[in-house]
């Protein structure tokens, strides 16, 4: 926006002051031709800059509106009356769970689901490393189950889709082949389609759905379960994280419907995520 204003001003200054002041016999006629072009350029730059200001102002007003509306809608879902906090997020408003349930696993945003998965393997005594944010290349966690120093299993976490389909499993298989790792775990808070299960069973991929993860957690000792619960419900555990910036996203509305957008939108981050069923239910 600032650049467009500068370009407009530079075009205007050249047109009004620099071009008319030239006394060169060759440049004189050229200046006459360039004058209207310069004026048109400066007007176009100014118009684009004004349009951008109006557009960004509209988006800012929408964001404020969304934040102010969230507490009321969410309290309806959970039949709880709360005052409107300034920096609202879902998990601050709802009463946090005190024990493990399938609902809690399904409510977790993708980053929290990944963190929980890493913590689960660590509780099991397995060396587990999460890959860098936004750069997983199809791998979310690497497991080291022997002393070779090389990962023995790769893990992919999917907390967003209702059902993981055959396409996702094929992609994961491609990553396993590329990484030359024969063992893979695919973890989701929901479930898998029948053909996804078929492909997985034929290729040494262990599929873990929400029910299985709950069972796996409940098989741990009481202390481990509590540690995992504390990690899961710490902070805002339902609002998704931007995979690029690592900050919480914000609800936005477009003509195509509601979605999660990055708070750094004005700094150039265009990351967005679709609403889950629980997000629609809380709107």
CB of 111 to Zn ion, least distance (A): 12
Q: Which is nearer to Zn ion, 232 or 249 (CB)?
A: 249
Task: Please give the Cα distance from 52 to 6 (Å, whole number).
Answer: 14
CB of 86 to Zn ion, least distance (A): 21
Alpha helices in the chain (DSSP H): 2-13, 27-78, 90-93, 102-107, 110-123, 166-179, 194-202, 210-218, 222-233, 277-281
Q: Which is nearer to Zn ion, 102 or 245 (CB)?
A: 245
CB of 9 to Zn ion, least distance (A): 32
Residues found near Zn ion in the complex (CB under 5 A):
242, 244-245, 262, 264, 269, 271
Q: Which is nearer to Zn ion, 44 or 269 (CB)?
A: 269
Q: Any idea of the CA torsion for 275, 268, 266, 277, to the nearest 10 degrees?
A: 0
Q: Which is nearer to Zn ion, 172 or 260 (CB)?
A: 260
Tell me how many degrees the CA angle 158-159-163 measures, rounded to the nearest 5.
75
CB of 260 to Zn ion, least distance (A): 10
CB 279 within 8 A of CB 258: yes
Task: Please give the Cα distance from 46 to 1 (Å, whole number).
Answer: 9
């Amino acid at each position: 926006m600032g650049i467009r204003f500068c370009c407009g001003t530079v075009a205007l200054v050249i047109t009004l002051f620099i071009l008319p002041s030239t006394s060169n016999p060759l440049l004189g006629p050229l200046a006459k031709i360039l004058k209207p072009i310069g004026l048109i350029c400066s007007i176009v730059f100014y118009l684009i800059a004004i349009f951008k200001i109006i557009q960004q102002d509209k988006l800012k007003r929408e964001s404020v509106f969304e934040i102010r509306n969230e507490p009321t809608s969410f309290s309806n879902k959970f039949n709880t009356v709360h005052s409107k906090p300034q920096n609202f997020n879902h998990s601050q408003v709802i009463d946090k769970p005190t024990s493990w349930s399938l609902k809690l696993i399904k409510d977790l945003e993708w980053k929290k689901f990944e963190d929980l998965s890493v913590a689960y393997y660590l509780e099991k005594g397995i060396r587990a490393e999460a890959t860098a944010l936004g750069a997983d290349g199809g791998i979310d966690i690497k497991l080291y189950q022997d002393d070779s120093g090389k990962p023995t299993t790769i893990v992919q976490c999917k907390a967003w889709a209702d059902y993981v389909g055959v396409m996702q499993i094929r992609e994961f298989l491609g990553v396993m082949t590329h990484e030359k790792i024969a063992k893979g775990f695919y973890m989701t808070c929901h479930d898998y389609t029948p053909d996804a299960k078929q492909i997985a069973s034929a290729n040494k991929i262990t599929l873990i759905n929400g029910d299985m993860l709950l069972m796996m957690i409940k098989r741990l000792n009481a202390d481990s379960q509590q540690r995992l619960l504390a990690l899961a419900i710490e902070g805002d555990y339902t609002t998704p994280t931007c995979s690029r910036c690592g900050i919480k996203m914000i609800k936005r509305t477009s003509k195509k419907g509601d979605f999660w957008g990055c708070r750094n939108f004005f700094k150039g981050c265009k990351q967005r995520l679709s609403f889950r069923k629980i997000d629609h239910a809380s709107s």
